Amino acid sequence: MTAITATDIVVKVKGTTLLHGVDLEVRSGEWLSIIGPNGAGKSTLLRAIGGAIKSTGSLRIGDDELGSLSGRERAQRVAWVPQSPVVPPGMKVLDYVLLGRTAHLHPLASEGSGDVDVVESILTDLDLHPLAHRHVSTLSGGERQRTVIARALAQQTTILLLDEPTTALDLGHQQEVLSLLWNRHQQCGLTIVSTMHDLTLAGSFADRLVLLAAGRVAAEGSAVDVLTEPNIETHYGAQVSVRREGDTVLVLPRIEPPNSSESTKPDPNEENLR
Amino acid sequence: MTLRPAAARITWLVGGALLVLGACVLALVVGPTDIPRGGVLRESVDRLTPFAVDSGLSTTQESIVWNLRLPRVALGLLVGASLATAGATYQGVFRNPLADPYLLGVAAGGGLGATIAFINRWGDAQGAFDGVQIAAFAGALSSVAITWVVGVLGDRSRSPTSLILAGVAVASFFTAMQTFLQQRNAEDIRQIYTWFLGGLTTSGWDETLQLLPVAIVCVLVLAFSGRTLDVLAVGDEEASMLGLSVGRSRVVLVVVASLLTASAVAVSGLIAFVGLIVPHTVRLLFGSSFRAIVPMSILVGAGFLVLCDLAARTVLSPAELPIGVVTAFFGAPFFVVILRTAVLR
């Protein structure tokens, strides 16, 4: 079953075309990662899928056109983890995560015990329960990111959009956050569409990659198909070595120290994916 | 650990209500005319509750309690609650700590309406509705409507910033018109200036009963909108992705808060400071969730204005101070103390 079908998506902002007719299909329970250099339109595509930015073309969530859904209905199906979430000063973790219940509540209503139960279970799953009464602004980067993800999970949607979920996190926290998402993806069949800069992590966690360049789909497929040296050199303008270690595709920057010719020599033991 | 979402806790609400009650009792028993305190309270119980109690007061004293002190305290409660609630709502809707109920030009519009009414002697007519009040109300609402139109024309997304800037422009224009009219009618300036400083002078229960229905409905709507204001605090885009209808919510909240402010301004003039300082004080004492700020602002605003009015009519008795002077004079140092306590905590 298809979770998201995007056909000929065009996004124009103030006369500049950011997406030029993008086609995309995301299956239910799939993790799709959108990769691409800065300015390729990754976040724009994600926001178009979420309905946060106007687009032309056809966008379907399940069997329904995105435009036919009310904001409330949309938020019951699609949750979004923004790249730079706004954290209101003085707001506590519990109250912040409870904001995720908005789409399930009447405009003048407060959360009931059922809503608190949902959030409590998520806080426990994400090891945030002891932090429930801490101010979000006092949390570490990893804790804060888990809190934002918890708010999105509190929406109880089947689709989760993640905009650079590991940016600004150290290596340990990157693994922690992605493992947490991976578990949700595996256990609950959550459909995930993420944008990511770290190509190795993107390839490791996603079922499929879409490489965007200048607002167009440049490549699509498995990590092995998309993360190739020519693709990366062409679209990122980066010199990289791509290696395979088991199922993992490693993308390593090739650093050439000044006046060093030896460092550019290929490693004879390297399994090159050119 | 029990998880309890942010809300105005029962103990806070009860404590706040007791403080308001205390302020009301104090404001009833203290006044320029010496009336036995027990008699004042018995008379109040007799008049306001189904219980028949003999107050033991003379007819004149009964009249002072019923026609002067009680309506004035009631008006203080309504105006204080209205301005503080509207201020808290504006601060949430516009995500701006400097927002007060006069942000979108209510003060300038109300001021222009009142100025026109004073110049044309509309306030001299007899009847339940005073011409100055009607003109101030109409001016206040007109200015918000114009601000809204200008703000939306300038920015179709109706962002808080464009509305605030439109409010500044409209307020400046209305103030310029006001100043022009005042200069051309210098003989009315003293009267107009007194209105500008605000006051709770009443003629029986008319003002209170005029404000009562609007205040009850609007304050109730806003009291239940704390959660919506909390959602708006994460920004329009995120709030929309959480399922909130951002545009509609903002329109409803601004209309309700503006109606409340305009109604309060119509009966009490421009009482400064309450709408700005009370929500901030509440935030420092009870946390930053609007689910606590709005209900507590209702109580604190009501009690604060009743006490300020008590000071306004007793400090220079039998003369009266403009209440706007008192709200600023006592409110500013009080806020500094609260701010310092909260920072040190």
Q: Is B157 on the interface with A (CB under 8 A)?
A: no
Check residue B297 and give its pLDDT: 96
What domains appear along chain B, each with residue ranges and CATH number?
10-344 (1.10.3470.10)
Nearest-neighbour CA in chain A from B236: distance (Å): 10
B72-113 per-position pLDDT tens digit: 999 999 999 999 999 999 999 988 877 888 888 888 898 899
Q: Is A69 on the interface with B (CB under 8 A)?
A: no
Best CA proximity match to B222, nearest among B284, B181, B264, B167: B264
Check residue B34 and give its pLDDT: 86
Q: Is B288 on the interface with A (CB under 8 A)?
A: yes
Q: Is A80 on the interface with B (CB under 8 A)?
A: yes
pLDDT level of residue A274 (50, 70, 90 thresholds)? very low
- Judge if ipTM > 0.90: no
Check residue B127 and give its pLDDT: 53
Q: Is A54 on the interface with B (CB under 8 A)?
A: no
pLDDT level of residue A194 (50, 70, 90 thresholds)? very high
Contact A52 B228 (CB under 8 A): no
> If you write DSSP's letter for every residue of chain A in order, what string do you get?
-EEEEEEEEEEEETTEEEEEEEEEEEETT-EEEEE-STTSSHHHHHHHHHTSS--EEEEEETTEEGGGS-HHHHHHHEEEE-SS----TT-BHHHHHHGGGGGGS-TT----HHHHHHHHHHHHHTT-GGGTTSBGGGS-HHHHHHHHHHHHHTT--SEEEEESTTTT--HHHHHHHHHHHHHHHHHH--EEEEE-S-HHHHHHH-SEEEEEETTEEEEEE-HHHH--HHHHHHHH---EEEEEETTEEEEEE----TT-SGGGSPPTT-----
Instruction: Identify all chain A residues contacting B241, using CB atoms and an 8 Å cutoff.
Output: 50-52, 75, 78-80, 82
Contact B283 A90 (CB under 8 A): yes
Q: Is B234 on the interface with A (CB under 8 A)?
A: yes
Contact B242 A102 (CB under 8 A): yes
A20-57 per-position pLDDT tens digit: 999 999 999 999 999 999 999 999 999 999 988 999 99
Q: Is B241 on the interface with A (CB under 8 A)?
A: yes
Nearest-neighbour CA in chain A from B263: distance (Å): 23
Q: Is B83 on the interface with A (CB under 8 A)?
A: no
- Residue A227: pLDDT over 90: yes
Cβ–Cβ under 8 Å, residues A271 and A244: yes
* β-bridge mates for residue A38, sequence order: none
Contact A119 B3 (CB under 8 A): yes
Check residue A209 and give its pLDDT: 96
| Percent share of chain A, pLDDT over 70 | 93
Instruction: Identify all chain B residues contacting A50, using CB atoms and an 8 Å cutoff.
Output: 241
User: From A100, which residue of chain B is nearest by alpha-carbon distance?
Assistant: B242
Best CA proximity match to A136, nearest among A78, A170, A89, A79: A89
| Average pLDDT, integer, range A251-271 | 64
A55-92 per-position pLDDT tens digit: 999 999 999 999 999 999 999 999 999 989 999 988 99
Mean pLDDT, chain A, integer: 89
Best CA proximity match to B251, nearest among B173, B158, B183: B158
Query: Which of B3, B231, B291 is the mutation pick for testing A, counting most A CBs within 10 A?
Result: B3
Check residue B276 and give its pLDDT: 87
A5-23 per-position pLDDT tens digit: 999 999 999 889 999 999 9
Contact A91 B289 (CB under 8 A): yes
Q: What is the mean pLDDT of each successive set of 10 residues along chain B, which is 345 residues long?
A: 74 93 94 87 89 87 90 94 94 85 86 90 65 87 89 72 87 92 86 82 80 93 94 94 93 92 87 88 89 95 94 84 86 78 57
Nearest-neighbour CA in chain B from A128: distance (Å): 12
Q: Report helix, strand or coil for B250.
A: helix
Tokens of A74: 């949309």
Cβ–Cβ under 8 Å, residues B253 and B221: no
Check residue B223 and give its pLDDT: 94
Handedness of CA B122, B127, B132, B137 (dihedral sign): negative
Long-range contacts of B118-122 (CB under 8 A, 24+ apart): B118/B188, B118/B191, B118/B192, B118/B195, B119/B181, B119/B185, B119/B188
Instruction: Identify all chain A residues contacting B249, using CB atoms and an 8 Å cutoff.
Output: 107
Check residue B83 and give its pLDDT: 94
Contact B243 A75 (CB under 8 A): yes
What domains appear along chain A, each with residue ranges and CATH number?
2-264 (3.40.50.300)
Cβ–Cβ under 8 Å, residues A82 and A139: no
Residues with Cβ < 8 Å from B156, sequence gap 6 or more? none
A71, A79, A116 member nearest B5 (Cβ): A116
User: From B230, which residue of chain A is nearest by alpha-carbon distance?
Assistant: A99
A94, A99, A151 member nearest B3 (Cβ): A94
Instruction: For Cα atoms B248, A82, A102, give the angle at the middle one, nearest 5 degrees.
Output: 40
First to last CA, chain B: 23
* Placement of tokens 């949750």 in the chain: A79
A124-152 per-position pLDDT tens digit: 988 899 999 999 999 988 899 999 999 99
- Cα separations in angstroms, B275 against A28, B41, B113, B292: 51, 30, 21, 16
Tokens of B111: 């001021």
Best CA proximity match to B298, nearest among B264, B254, B335: B264
Contact A155 B283 (CB under 8 A): no
Nearest-neighbour CA in chain B from A268: distance (Å): 50
Largest CA distance in chain A: 69
Q: Is A74 on the interface with B (CB under 8 A)?
A: yes
Largest CA distance in chain B: 68
